[in-house]
Each structure stands twice: as C-alpha cells, then as structure tokens.
Structure 1
Amino acid sequence: MSLPPSSARVVIIGGGVIGCSVAYHLTKLGWKDVVLLERKQLTSGTTWHAAGLIAQLRATQNMTRLAKYSQELYGGLEDETGVATGFKRVGSITVALTEARKEEILRQASMARAFGVEVEAISPTEVLEKYPHLNIGDVTQGVYLPLDGQGDPANIALALAKGARQRGAQVLERTKATGVVRDGRRITGVHWQQGDETGTINCEHVVNCGGMWGHEVGAMLGTNVPLHACEHFYIVTEAIAGLTQLPVLRVPDECAYYKEDAGKILLGAFEPNAKPWAANGIPADFEFDQLPEDFDHFEPILADACERMPMLAEAGIHTFFNGPESFTPDDAYHLGLCPEMDNVWVAAGFNSIGIQSAGGAGMALSQWMDAGEKPFDLGDVDISRMQPFQGNKTYLFERSKETLGLLYADHYPYLQKRTARGVRRTPFHQHLLDRGAVMGELAGWERANWFARGSQEAEYRYSWTRQNFFENVRAEHTAVREGVGMYDMSSFGKIRVEGPDAEAFLNYVAGGNYSVPVGKIVYTQFLNDRAGIEADVTITRLSPDAYLVVTPAATRLADQTWLMRHKGAYRVTITDMTAAEGVLAIMGPQARDLLQKVSPNDFSNAANPFGTAQEIEIGMGLARAHRVTYVGELGWEIYVSTDMAGHVFETLMDAGAEMGLTLCGMHMMDTCRIEKGFRHFGHDITSEDHVMEAGLGFAVKKDKPAYIGRDAVLRKQDEGLAMRMVQFKLTDPEPLLYHAEPILRNGEVVGFLTSGAYGHTLGGAMGLGYVPCKGESVQEVLASSYEIEVAGTRVAATASLKPMYDPKSERVKV
C-alpha cells in the first residue's frame, strides 16, 4: 500500500461516491496532485448499501440539471473505465392515493416539462399496464418518467475512482485524516495515519466528502457541516418466478419505494418518524456494517406493501437491511466553499439521493473550485445557507427524526417543519403569539406568517387549494393596502460595515452609489463578475464611517461572508448586528398618521423623504425610522434596540387600536410584494440572473468607477437583453400559483415561474418569471399570448414588464 505524498493541490477526505466523483471531475479539468483519503475502504460508509435509484427530476431547475448530468455520466462510465456500473434506464412511476397527492404529482409533472424532463401523466389503468403486479383500487393518478434509471452504487463509485486514478489522482484506502495545520482562514496541511505510519500532506485545498462523518470532519477543519445519521430500512425478497424488469415505483402515501433487480424486489421506506443513529459518535471501526434489525419499526410499511403488491406476501424475505445515511436540517445536501474558511470545501449530507446527485454535485463543485466562482446558481445546496446554531448536536438529533420522512411527505405549499423549533425568537415573539400569530420557521427564526382571528385555531391546515389562512391573509393584505398594518421584520439580517474605508469598500463590492449623505438608504445588489446577483440588499449610511447592510434572513451568513472575502486591504470592520435590534414595519396609507401619534419627529416628505432614515423618539424610547417598503405602500421600518422593543410594540398597538392597526405576517408581505413586482432573492434573482435582465438595472450605477460586475453590466447594456423578467396574472381567479409552473408563449413552453402568490387586490394568482427576448422589443414581448400551466391545465395570463400594482410608485411616495 503506497503512502500519501508530502504535498498535493487538493486533499479529498472520504471515499464514498461523492468523494470519488469530486476526484474524477477535478482530474477531468486537468488538476494534478489530487489525493483522496479513505479511512477504511472505498464505499464502506453509506454508498455500498444505497438503493441506487437514479431520478432526473428535482425541486429546482439547477438541481434537475445536476441529476440529469449524473445519468448521462453513469451511462458512459463503463466504456471509459471498464467497470460495470449497472446503469440502465428502466423508467419510474410515482402513484398518488389521495386527491392532494394527485395535485402534487401533476404539478411536479408540469414542473418537469418546464425543466426539459420527459414526463407523462398516466391513469391508474396505465399504471397497471406498466406495473402489472400492483393493486390500483385506490390509485388516483400516476406520473411516468421514462428516462429515470437505476444502477449499482458501489460500482459507480469504483468506476469514478478508477477514472480519477487514470488521470493521475492518488486514491488511498486505510488512510485516515487525523488533523490539520491551520493558518488563519486556510488549511495548509492534513495529518494522516496509515497503520503505524503517520505524516502530513501540505495542500492548497481540502474537500470534506465525509458522508455521515461530515459533521465530525467539518469540526476538524474548523467548519460547520450540519447533518446527522439516521437508520434507513429496506428488505430484499427471494427470487420471484417470472419477475421481469420493472420501472422503479414510488408510493409516497405509503412511504415506500420498489425496485426490481435480478428477479427480486427491493422494498424501501421513508417513514414519518425516523430513528436517528450514533448521536454520541459513529463507532471507530465502522466499515460495511449493518445496524440491528427493527422489524417492528418497518412492519407497518411492509403490511401496506403486501396489500399494494400482493405477491410480496408470498415471497420470502432474503435480506432485512438496516443501514445509516446522513440527513441535513432542510433535506438538501451541502456543497461549496465553507463560510468559516477560505480553502475548505464540502460535498456531504445527501439525504438518500447520493447516487443520483453525486455525478452532478462533483461536476459543479469541481467547476466552482477550478474557476473560483459558482458555475450556476447553487443556492439550494450552498453550505453558506446553514446557520451556525444548526451544528448543535441536540438540534440535529431532533430535526433528523423528521427530515428522512419529509422526502415522501405531502409537499404542501408553506409546509412548516415540526421538530427542533423555537431556537431563534425575535423580541416581539410572545407579543405576537398572544395575539394569534401562527409561526413559521426560516433559518431557525420563528416568524409570524399569519394571524388567527377570533376562535380560529392558530395552526396550519395544509392543502393545495385555498388553505385555512387564505382569508386571514386577504384581510392583512387589505389592511396594508387601505389602512395600516404592522409586521415583525427582526429576522432580516443586519450587517454593520464600519471604518475609514467603509464608503470606498461598499462602492467596490456593491453596485449602487454609497457616496451619499448620512441617513440615505440605497437599494442595490452585490454582483459577481458576470453581473449575476449574489445578494439583494438595502444599505443605509448611519454616519460618515458606518453603514447598515440589511439582507434577507436566510442569506445573512452568505452575504456577510461575501463581504469578508472581498474585504482585501480596505480598513473596515464587518459585524453581524441582527440580534441587536428588533424591527417593526408600519405599512399602509395611514402609516404616517400612526407614527405621528407616538413620536414628536417629523415624518413628512420634506423632512423624511422615501429612501431616508432618521433617529426618532417613540413612546418613551428611541429608535431609527427607515422609510422603505417591500409591500408597495407608504411605510417605515422601525429599528429599535432589543431592550426597548417590547415598549415600542405596546406603544404602537395602543396608539393604533382606534385606527384599526392590523398585525400581519410574512404571507401578507409575499402577496403584496408580488403585486408590486418586487423580486425575491433565491427565487426570482440568483447568482446566475443578470441584474439587468432581472429588471434591476436602475439599482446599479453604469457610470460609477470599478466595482464587481461593472464590466458585465456595460457589456449587457451594449449587446442587449437575452431574457426579461415578466410579471403575470392569471385571468381565472381560482387557480393558485406557487413556483416552477411552466410559462407558455404562443403555445410553447419558454420558461417557468420563479415565484408565485395570490394578488388579493388585483384579484388573481400572480407570478414572476423570465421570458427569452433576444433581439426583441418590449412591444414584441408583450404582444404575445401567454398561459401558465397549473397541474397540467393551461390557464390564460396577462403579462407586464411594469408592476401591475401602482406602476409609478405614487402610493409609496405620498
């Protein structure tokens, strides 16, 4: 067995399918001195016992792109390496047993068409034709993807490892990474042990592909990688006479999947209440190990399966298997450059979809490492979405009980996690609960999404049609449009940038102009070199040397990391101030009247025009009033230190009682912002959406000296737009839009909605989405006829490039 070298360009820790994929793809890009360290034997953690289902369709376009790439890669690996991957396109069927699941899978089929995945909605009878052993008595709908496949997980990993070796990578088994040499925000060396031998590899990069050890390896590397192992169960039958090749079958309403292989049936489960494993650490000698059987836990799944496929009741069980797999807090895997370090990368936590994800994830990470920037938007899986507290072991243990089962749960709109809740609370949390708030969770923050009224239960009742809060949100929406509403924005990120170079630094790192008077608020974006949008923020000048950057709650860490990584020699200090201040948004035509009742300060246009902030007295306390809006109405965001937050809340509620002040939630904010055409970061605007094609060219300065993305802005200005962000409203007021519904232009699918919500003032469901327009005028784009496909049905839509609600923003500036 060869020993590791003394130096390498990159050290990859972990020899499962993803570690092998990263090594394969880096060498394919020409990287030399690639070293992979595997503590035991390749595939010996989770990969060896994976089911090997290889589906194409994921929840977003780019995740689907990566899954499709995996299929294409595995199809050609055998010819390249001589290792049989067992990959074959057998197709897959998902069946629904309820009307709610029928709606879900039909919406998924529409999404598949938008993403370019071949898909067919099939009737229960057609399901039986393709899967003749099934009891279809209660099947309501099926969806068939003919190009889905299955493969041999271990051999796929070994083929990737061989491909990497053929291009010069060293893949070393029985070699454990035991520690690191750290220099500030970089790892400069990895210590290793192989038998009695030890040593250190000096390196430029480290990649954590540790699988269920990823959390532990992450800690060794000085990074937070939240994941937890859970027990995962399946059985394999004895050979069944006459059984021929079948599609992969998923019956999510029974938490089950079926795979035919070599005349046997593998039946697997994603049960609603999972069993976390190894909370106190994975045994040091774990290698190709199985966990103890728990037939009582699996028995309800098997009982349903025997009803669904009666021949299972006659078949003997050859194998009852229980093996561990890792799950993340949000059921999305971890990929990318870790926020805490500048040369530590991660690809781990694949939530039982590691085989179908590994090819694409390895390709994307390798391109990111090679180019120094993401090849396309990877926000769904970017490790920087994880908050520091999510590495807490108690939190991970509690959340993992739920996340495994969520893979097959009904994916209702607005579905909230049940476990590991209540970690982060705003200063107004109890005040809101006492008044009927129904909380949702984002990045650990408990946020009021809507308010129950009277005797109504303060909890969600999920469905795909109008949910139990629909009329509540309409009332909140109407209050903001016609009177005055108040909602809690404390969870939004607040990053203080301070120092003698603060103005120059922000003028370099962001697209707006920050050479402005104290009190000025600038809406703008952080851009990458392609003028893609890395962050969507407001920046307020607090003093000559200090600014406040306000970001979405979910991206505070990512946005602060972006600032840190571009700080260079600028003399600035960057500090997270999110928890220091509570924020109450006071919005609506009567907002000025309410504030004037509780404060002696002047809120007139002359004293406090739109886009400015002022220090104010409020009640007996002090605050800062920012005149901005995300709902398209006259309004202010009131920033108050957390010690005075309760007092300010009570003062506003008391003063607003006679005015009909209405408490509102995040759902209202979404319905109002979509009427106004305001973009939502992570959905409507991402790192691969050009700021000008997103319709945000006004927020970046074309004539400002050098800033990140400026050249790409000017190029786009010269060459013209290839895409335009368009706002849509359905002409039928009944259907609902959420996201990813196909956009049809003159009968052809040209894109999909990046976000959707109901426009209560305008009287219909609304969405935003990009439409190709290369060489076309605005008039040509709008002259077309548009439809949106909702669960397989085309619905006519009106289109606009200007906001359909208050296009000139006259209501905002009164």
Structure 2
Amino acid sequence: MSTDTALPESARTVVIGAGAVGCSVAYHLSELGAEDVVVVDQGPLPVTGGSSTHAPGIMFQTSPSKLMTKTAHYTGRLLSDAGVYDEVGGIEVARSEERMDFLQRRVEHATAYGLPDPQLLTPEEVTDHLPLVNEDAILGGYYSPTDGRVDGVAALQWYIEGSDADFYGHTSVTDLDVAGGDVTAVETDRGRIECDRCVVATNNWGYQTGKLAGVDLPIAPVEHQYVVTEPLEELAGEAPATRVDTDALDVPGDRRIADVMGKAPSRPVGRDQDHSLYFRTHGDSLGLGSYNHESLSVDPDAMGKNTEERQASVHDFTDEHWERATHPDRDKSPKRAFEELLPVSEDAAFQATENGIFVFTPDGMPVLGETAAVDGLWTALAIWWTHSGGYGRILAEWMETGVPKLPDGPVDTGAIHVNRFEPHAGSKPYFVDRGATRYRQVYSIVEPNWQPEDHRGLRRSPFYHQQDELGAEFVQSGGWESAQWYESNADLVERYADRIPEQEGWQGVNRSPIEGAEHLHTREHVSLFDMTPFSSIVVEGSDAGTFLQRVCSNDVDIDVGKVRYSLLLNEGGNILADVTVVRLDEDEYMVTTGGGNSPGIHGSWLKEHAPETVSVTVEEGGRSTIGLWGPKSRLLLQRVTEADVSAEGFPYFSAKQLYVGEVPVVAMRVSYVGELGWELWAPAEYGARLWETLREAGQDLDVRPMGGGALESMRLEKGFRLWGTDIDTDTDPFAAGLPFAVDMDTDFVGKDALEDIRESGVDSRIVPLTLDDSTDRLLSGRPVTKDGETLGYVQAADFGYSVGESIAYTYVPSEYADPGTAVRVTCEGETCDATVREEPLFDPGREKILR
C-alpha cells in the first residue's frame, strides 16, 4: 500500500527508490511472502522524478545475452497480465548490409532463447506494419511480435497497489548506517529506520547512495534525447488513450512529459540502429528518441533533486545535439536521419522535449546482489524498464531463498553480480569514461572480442614487457592485460597450415590463425601460459579444513600436498564456482579460481561464509603464475629444479613447494589443456625471473608462449568447464557433467537440493557437438535444433585443431543427450548438421595428461 504517514522506526527490509526496479523488488518480495518491507523515495509517488516516468517505455526483448532476453520476456508477460503493457510488437530496421546481417543474428538469438516467432521482414513487410517508414530508405527489418511499450506511471501504480510493502514518497535518504560490516539503519530527512537489509534501487543516484555506505558503485549517468511531435494528420483518429489521469497526480517538473508518455502506441515500436534512433507513436503524435549524439556524461555526484521547474532526471533539451551530427560513429544528425526514415517528421513541431538521464556500468550490464563490503546491503541498479520485472524477481528470490531465479528456473549471475567489478572500477574517471563508451555502443554493431582503447594497461603481470616484446595481442579482462596470441609465433602457422582452416566473416573477426598454431605446438612441444589474472585464495586457521569441507561439494579432507577439484554451490545446488583446493599444511589451504570477475565473486562468498576462526585472503595479483604445458614440460621443469618431478615422484593432482631456479613456487600438477603440465604459482615479485628461467632453459625444446585463444580451443577438446560460460548459477553439477566433483557422503551447502535433483532426474545435460561437414567456428548464443524444435543454444565453441573438427558445447534435454544424436546448428544464417559426441573428444584415456 501507499502511505504518507510517519515513517516506521524499523523494518526488516528497506528499499531505496520507488521507480521501476525498486517497485519490482518490493512487489516480488511480497509475492514470496516477505514481511515488513518499506520503500522510500525522494520524489512524489508514483511520478518520482527518476527515469522510470520520463522514459517512453519501449521494450525490445532480443539480446545476445540469454539473461537479458529472459528478463525482458518475463517483464513483458508480467506487465501484460497486469494490463499496463501494450504488446504492439517491435521492428528494428536495417539501412545497411551489415545491419541486415546483425538482424539475422537477432533471429538466431531470439530462437535460441525462446522468444516467440521472430521474423526477418522485407522492406514492404516493414511498411505494412509501419506505413510512416520510407520503404526506399531501408533494406529490411527484424520483427518481434511480443515487443511493445510499458505504461510507466500505470505500472508503478500497479506495483504499489499490488505489494504488501509500505511506500513513502517525499523521503530523502541522508545516510546509511553501517556497524561491524553490517547495514543497520537508513537515515532519512523524516527519521531513522533500523533494518536488517537494504536494497539500493536508486539507479541515476546509485553512486551517491552507495557512497553513503562507503561503497563505490560504478554507476555512470548519461543523457539521451527524446521528443514528441504535435499531433500529425497522418495519425489522426488514433486515440490518445491513457490509463492514468496525470492531472490528479503530483508531477515534478514539466507536466507535458508525463502527459505524452501516458498516451499509448497503436503501431509497433521501432528503431533504426544504423543511426542510433528509436520511435513510437503517442496516440496521434510521434515520439522520436536519439542516442545519435556525443556522450553527454553527468557527474554522478551532481545528480540533484526535483524542483518545481524540473524533474530530477531530466535536463534541458539541446538543439545542437538534435540538429548536428555529433556522434563519433554517425555521419548524419538525428533530425536528418529521422526525416529520411520517417518523412512525416520533417518540419514537425514538438510538444515535448527532454534530455533524459539513465545509467551505464563499465561493461554495460546491470548490478545485482549483496555487496562484499557491507553485509545486508543489496543492489538493483543500471536496469531499464525492459528488464525491471525480471531483475526484481531475481533479486527477491536471491534475498529470500539464496537462489537467484525466474519462474522457469535458476539464472546465471556472473555477468550481473555487484562483486564482479575489479578494484579500480570504483574510480569515477574510469567508470564515467567507460559509461560514455557503453552509451556510444548502445546501437553499434560490436565485433566479437571487441576491446576498449581507453584505460588500458591498468593491471599488468610481471611478464607483460616480455610478452609485449614477443608481439602479444593483448585483451583486457578484469583490468588485466592478457595475451590472446603472439606474433612471435607467426612462423608456426606455416608449419601447421594444413590443420588450421580459414575462418571467414564474423567468425574470423579479431581472430588469428596463430591461435591454432599455438594450440598444435603445445600438443607437440611445450608452452608457457600467463595465468597471473587467475587468483589464489588462502584459507587458514584451526577450522579451515572443516570450513572448506562445508562449502565444497567434493571431499577436501585431503593429505598435505594433495589437490582436489571441487565446486562451490548455493542453497539450490547451483554452481557458484569451480575451484581447485590445495592443502599446503595442516591448517593452510590454497583455493585457486579463474580471473575476470571470479576473485570478487568467489572470494567474497568464501569470506562471507567463513567463521571467525578461519582467515580468508584473496591474493588477487599477489602471485604470478605460469601454466607450463606440453609433452616436454617435465623435461623443462626438471632442468630448473632439484625436486623430483617424475610421474612417480610428482603424480597428477598433487602439489609441492619447490624452487624453479631461485624462485619459490607452489607447483601444482594440473592441466587445463589436457597435456602433461604444471601450474607454477610464485610471489608476484619473482614473476619476471620465473618467466626468464623457463624460457632460457627451454630454448632447445622450442618453448613458446601461448595465448588465450589456444587455451580455449584446447580446453574444449578436453571438455573442461569454464565458469561464466559453460557453468554458472543457472546449472547444477549433474546437468553440467561434473558428478565427479560431488561427494554425496559429505555434508555441504546445496546437498539437499542435489539429492532432490538426483531423485527426480536431470532434465538437461551438457554435451559436445561436432559439425558434420563444416570447419566453421560457431559462435555462442546460436540455436541448436532438431526437427524444427529448439533444444538449446551454443554455450561455447571453437575449432578443435587436434581433433580436426568444429566443436560446440550446449545443454540439451536429457532425451537428446546420447552420443550419435543428430541435430542442427544455425549461425550467421547458415544451418549445419551436427552430431552429439561423447566427451572428451581428445585423449579420452588421459594418457597424455597422466604420462
């Protein structure tokens, strides 16, 4: 319910922000039975003054991200059932051949992720739906029938009226009280509310709100333009229907914006991404939106409050950004591009204009979850109307059950987790610049493996300069500069030319045949791989073993010097992480995990769950690590150490603390590429010397550096999983083909859920596919079908240079998981026959890795 009475002195949960996201979180918490929820907002209700009520509400559901597509579809279904969503369909037009290829990808992603009836349209079919569009200006379009528009004010009213939470407008949050690492209260200009947990859903003000708790949230506000024309003769007779009488509401700023946004469209919503434009009808008027201007970043500290003259998240319209071409990638002004596409807009007068504000993160994805720095402080930020219902449901489930999910099952959270950001991401110059870049890319065609140009070289391993001298092609992940391949290995391409098929088109963008050559060289000789972005987590203390046994799915009660692969699971039995556990001493363990967002997410989870008797130290950047892999790796390692590294003296999945030359290392006999090899973990200051020692000793063995491209194809040949790609919080160990990483005789988090899954049966399983008659490298997110039915989609893919086949991994219903099952995969408009295979494809007897 909504109330203007005095604030309560306490609540279990306080949600800050009553826009689309905050209202969705409160509604879904109520739906799950949560009690004592309070929502506060600085503005009036329901027109708070945030972007939820100045936004035109257009919802295009299709995305390369499964999660973004699924949350959009859930939002549309939820709000359609509520009667506040206009399912008029959505059409994206193409004005270039490159965009038509992009729209084909739209169809493939929509098919893969289950959107109903995605279609490619001819120009004539586009204008059948949208007669105002100039047919001669386009090459075609993409049509999603369930796209549409949400009525923002009506939706907020529906959320408020349908929730058991108490809502308070005109309530500004002035501070967040934190004691002992826990959020304890929300301070407002109307009083203090003690609470157990708090949700930051302030979007444009997310950075400011986070600072109140001492947390740097990388939320960058940016402006974009929207105008609504005066009534047009061509739209006469189209009723300007409204669900809410805004005259009866307290509306901050220019009332005309709220009035026109309430008028429903009667035709499909549209966008012209080649010119960074979108459009919809408002009854008998036309709404025109533009990202086609330079990035207009707003200082996140300067986000203000509503005034009598202005809604807080609306700035004055800037004519120059409408009439001039200021976008660095667009050669026409918004005005001219619209006039070409929609000739009726030429010389049309405007009844309402705005520069509306919304936000971006450095990677363009939302921010959800509980912060590592403050227990009980949850975030729901950088979310648009399009996905607000879905993410509100996910966060509510996460808070109440510990399992982030939608009604059809758990979802993957690695790409949206608040703790995914690297330490430097909270720097305002950094995230504001990256937010501006993401704004620039909103409608751009972003190439596979695209890399930013700004803020590079932030994190460099001790091997960086040696790698640079070897011609490393660096890519950035988590701020680290990691080599994808090395130009110094170009001579290997000729050696292996007959085994490296050419990749044309989109599959070959930002790729190099050197990646294949490094793969094959490693299989035959020996290579060095820079693993420094991977992280070690030291767990020590008298109860360290007991703690790890509780959080690890496998039996980690191992002898000193032994290594065990395990999983961390949530309460639903879904995979939070895959880790390698090394017992270094009686009360000391080293847990290793991947790079990118892994240290922040996995390390903070371990810290959060550790008792006071256990110390958890995330050594991100504290060690420099080399993967030494290949059939000659033992010969090379033995040359530089006095330790016994023979098969008998140093068996697979064991560890030793030894010296490589003068360098102290923790050597683990594990291999992520399916070859004999070791991971050598050394203190960071010794890294450069470690690299030099191994390279100098291995010259006659043709030791080479290898990059991430070779690593990916090699690990897929062996069927090794990659967290955030093949496995995430949306799958369980049985579906992921990792039952060996689970010991049901031990007691661990998620065990009860796994027992239920095992008893009821596994619905889907991960399987490798190989293409029957093609060497094309498939791309992720492309549909896998059988007899016209979509079974799943490509999780990860590459060409397997050792097996000589194109490989893709996918989850399919269990009845289709048997080796030999014939399926089809569509990628870039081509449909190929493929076959389910038994894994691993390479060295199934493990002779190479165990030699």
Shared fold per TM-score greater than 0.5: yes
Give the 5 Å matches for 1:251-650: 251-271=272-292, 273-284=294-305, 288-289=311-312, 290-298=314-322, 299=324, 300-350=333-383, 354-375=384-405, 376-379=410-413, 380-453=415-488, 464-553=506-595, 554-568=597-611, 571-650=613-692
TM-superposition CA deviations, 1:13-57 (whole Å, max 9, x none): 112221122222222333332211111224302222112112232
Give the 5 Å matches for 1:39-438: 39-42=42-45, 43-78=48-83, 85=84, 87-118=85-116, 119-137=118-136, 139-164=138-163, 167=164, 169-194=165-190, 199-243=191-235, 245-271=266-292, 273-284=294-305, 288-289=311-312, 290-298=314-322, 299=324, 300-350=333-383, 354-375=384-405, 376-379=410-413, 380-438=415-473
Question: Could you tell me how far 1:791 is from its partner in structure 2?
Answer: 3.3
Shift of the 265–434 alpha-carbon distance from structure 1 to 2, 3 Å rule, reads: farther
Between the aligned partners of 2:830 and 2:122, the Cα distance in structure 1 is 16
| Conserved 8 A contact 1:223-1:339 | no
Question: Could you tell me how far 1:122 is from its partner in structure 2?
Answer: 2.0
Partner of 1:745: 786
Partner of 2:15: 12
Between the aligned partners of 1:263 and 1:758, the Cα distance in structure 2 is 53
Question: Could you tell me how far 1:310 is from its partner in structure 2?
Answer: 2.7
AA partner of residue 802 (structure 1): E
Partner of 1:82: none
| Conserved 8 A contact 2:207-2:300 | no
| Conserved 8 A contact 1:62-1:377 | yes
| Conserved 8 A contact 2:537-2:592 | yes
TM-superposition CA deviations, 1:415-457 (whole Å, max 9, x none): 223333332222222221222112212222221122235899x
| Conserved 8 A contact 1:16-1:45 | yes
2:750 equivalent to 1:709: yes
AA partner of residue 520 (structure 1): K
2:800 to 733, 756, 759: 759
Question: Could you tell me how far 1:702 is from its partner in structure 2?
Answer: 2.6
Question: Could you tell me how far 1:387 is from its partner in structure 2?
Answer: 2.7
Question: Could you tell me how far 1:474 is from its partner in structure 2?
Answer: 1.1
Question: Could you tell me how far 1:717 is from its partner in structure 2?
Answer: 4.1
TM-superposition CA deviations, 1:277-311 (whole Å, max 9, x none): 12543235565143233333343233223223333
2:839 equivalent to 1:802: yes
| Conserved 8 A contact 1:271-1:404 | no
Between the aligned partners of 1:366 and 1:281, the Cα distance in structure 2 is 30
Question: Could you tell me how far 1:140 is from its partner in structure 2?
Answer: 4.3
Question: Could you tell me how far 1:628 is from its partner in structure 2?
Answer: 0.9
In terms of mean alpha carbon deviation, does 783-792 or 477-486 score higher? Answer: 783-792
Between the aligned partners of 1:629 and 1:285, the Cα distance in structure 2 is 58
AA partner of residue 78 (structure 2): L
AA partner of residue 651 (structure 1): T
2:33 to 30, 34, 37: 30
Shift of the 734–143 alpha-carbon distance from structure 1 to 2, 3 Å rule, reads: farther
Between the aligned partners of 1:809 and 1:4, the Cα distance in structure 2 is 65
The 3-state SS of whatever aligns with 1:644 is helix
Between the aligned partners of 2:784 and 2:504, the Cα distance in structure 1 is 26
AA partner of residue 604 (structure 2): T
Question: Could you tell me how far 1:537 is from its partner in structure 2?
Answer: 0.8
Between the aligned partners of 1:626 and 1:497, the Cα distance in structure 2 is 17
TM-superposition CA deviations, 1:370-411 (whole Å, max 9, x none): 223323224132212223321111111211110112221213
The 3-state SS of whatever aligns with 2:274 is helix
In terms of mean alpha carbon deviation, does 133-142 or 435-444 score higher? Answer: 133-142
2:770 equivalent to 1:732: no
Between the aligned partners of 2:738 and 2:621, the Cα distance in structure 1 is 30
> How large is the RMSD of aligned CA atoms in angstroms?
2.4
In terms of mean alpha carbon deviation, does 334-343 or 270-279 score higher? Answer: 270-279
| Conserved 8 A contact 2:561-2:655 | yes
Between the aligned partners of 1:346 and 1:258, the Cα distance in structure 2 is 31
Question: Could you tell me how far 1:530 is from its partner in structure 2?
Answer: 3.0
Between the aligned partners of 1:747 and 1:315, the Cα distance in structure 2 is 47
Between the aligned partners of 2:635 and 2:509, the Cα distance in structure 1 is 34
Between the aligned partners of 1:264 and 1:302, the Cα distance in structure 2 is 16
The 3-state SS of whatever aligns with 1:410 is coil
TM-superposition CA deviations, 1:727-758 (whole Å, max 9, x none): 01112334331212212235422111222222
**TM-score if structure 2 supplies the norm length?**
0.88
The 3-state SS of whatever aligns with 1:782 is coil
Question: Could you tell me how far 1:801 is from its partner in structure 2?
Answer: 3.1
Question: Could you tell me how far 1:272 is from its partner in structure 2?
Answer: 7.5
AA partner of residue 453 (structure 2): R
Question: Could you tell me how far 1:812 is from its partner in structure 2?
Answer: 0.9
Question: Could you tell me how far 1:492 is from its partner in structure 2?
Answer: 0.9
| Conserved 8 A contact 1:746-1:785 | no
The 3-state SS of whatever aligns with 2:64 is coil
Question: Could you tell me how far 1:587 is from its partner in structure 2?
Answer: 1.4
| Conserved 8 A contact 1:733-1:763 | no
AA partner of residue 295 (structure 1): D
Between the aligned partners of 1:771 and 1:143, the Cα distance in structure 2 is 27
Percent identity of the aligned residues? 31
Between the aligned partners of 2:663 and 2:67, the Cα distance in structure 1 is 48
| Conserved 8 A contact 1:674-1:766 | yes
**TM-score if structure 1 supplies the norm length?**
0.92
Question: Could you tell me how far 1:253 is from its partner in structure 2?
Answer: 2.0
The 3-state SS of whatever aligns with 1:3 is coil
Between the aligned partners of 1:314 and 1:734, the Cα distance in structure 2 is 53
Question: Could you tell me how far 1:115 is from its partner in structure 2?
Answer: 1.7
| Conserved 8 A contact 2:450-2:510 | no
TM-superposition CA deviations, 1:757-781 (whole Å, max 9, x none): 222223333111112126x8x7xx2
In structure 1, the gaps of 5 or more residues are 79-84
| Conserved 8 A contact 2:80-2:87 | no
Between the aligned partners of 1:344 and 1:56, the Cα distance in structure 2 is 29
Between the aligned partners of 1:440 and 1:19, the Cα distance in structure 2 is 36
Between the aligned partners of 2:34 and 2:760, the Cα distance in structure 1 is 35
Between the aligned partners of 2:179 and 2:290, the Cα distance in structure 1 is 45
The 3-state SS of whatever aligns with 2:679 is strand
TM-superposition CA deviations, 1:328-373 (whole Å, max 9, x none): 11111112222222211111112xxx11111112222222222233
How many pairs does the alignment contain? 787
Partner of 2:249: none
Shift of the 593–100 alpha-carbon distance from structure 1 to 2, 3 Å rule, reads: farther
AA partner of residue 758 (structure 1): F
| Conserved 8 A contact 1:92-1:248 | yes
